[in-house]
Amino acid sequence: MGKKAGGFQALGLDAQLLKGVLGMYGQPTPVQRAVLPAALEGRDVACMARTGAGKTAAFLIPLLQHVTRSRRKDEPPAATVLSPTRELALQTYKFATKMGKFCVGVDGERFSQCPLVGGESIEGQFNALAKRPAVLHATPGRLAHLLEEAPSSLITLAQCRLAVFDEADRLFEMGFALQLQQLLRAMAPSRQTLLFSATMPRALAQFARAGLKDDV
């Protein structure tokens, strides 16, 4: 397939990821065209766009590319997506699993993704973490609770080098700011951060200025 100008084929995606993306999308949306080149370079990104603009793929594509190029079997999670609600986290998890169904890590091994949300059994989530997922799709409250309750041999964010805040304005409206700061402190200092929001209230803008490095 030719590299259409501005198409997904021109982004230098790994072949397995490109196959998954093209199974779901034809051409990038304007938000994806704006975000993907910088995010794939490893830059921090703050994106404000309306619902339905294609923000989910704009962060999942760089996230899955990062994991395919860095992940080895049995390592701690390499990336985390934080969502304000259980429903959104589960929806994003399903979307990401479909997009990444052909992806493998640098050692050629398939990697798994894991939802960590409230309303589910803690025991079941311990069992899911024992399978060493590469990507966590979590609500902040449940992830913070698991970090406090589970041994570090089961869950650590120390090697998490890509963090996504999905619907960041709602994360702040729902009072998760302190938990978000706690989770960021647990992640690798050199992480890449992608922040996606429909609006940019003052508290979120202040958080973004403190938490993002050289962002676009």
pLDDT at 2 over 50: no
Banded model confidence at residue 186, pLDDT cuts 50, 70, 90: very high
pLDDT confidence band for 201 (50 / 70 / 90): confident
Angle, helices 177-186 vs 202-211, to 10°: value is 10
Quick one: pLDDT at residue 204? 82
Q: How far apart are CA 165 and CA 8, in angstroms?
A: 23
Cα gap 124→139, rounded to integer Å: 16
pLDDT at 94: 97
Q: Which two tokens stand for residue 184?
A: 């960021």
C-alpha–C-alpha distance, residues 197 and 207, integer Å: 13
Check if the beta carbon of residue 165 is closer than 8 Å to that of residue 193: yes
Dist. CA 63–CA 135, nearest whole Å: 9
Reply yes or no on whether the pLDDT at 4 is more than 60: no
Per-residue tokens: 3: 């590299």
Query: What mean pLDDT comes out for the span 46-72?
Result: 93
Q: If you count them, how many residues does the chain have?
A: 216
Which pTM was predicted?
A: 0.93
Residue whose C-alpha is closest to residue 67's, from 11, 153, 133: 133
pLDDT given for residue 146 in this prediction: 94
* Rounded-to-integer distance, Cα 23 and Cα 19, Å: 6
At 73-112, the pLDDT tens digits run 889 999 999 999 999 999 999 999 999 999 999 999 999 9
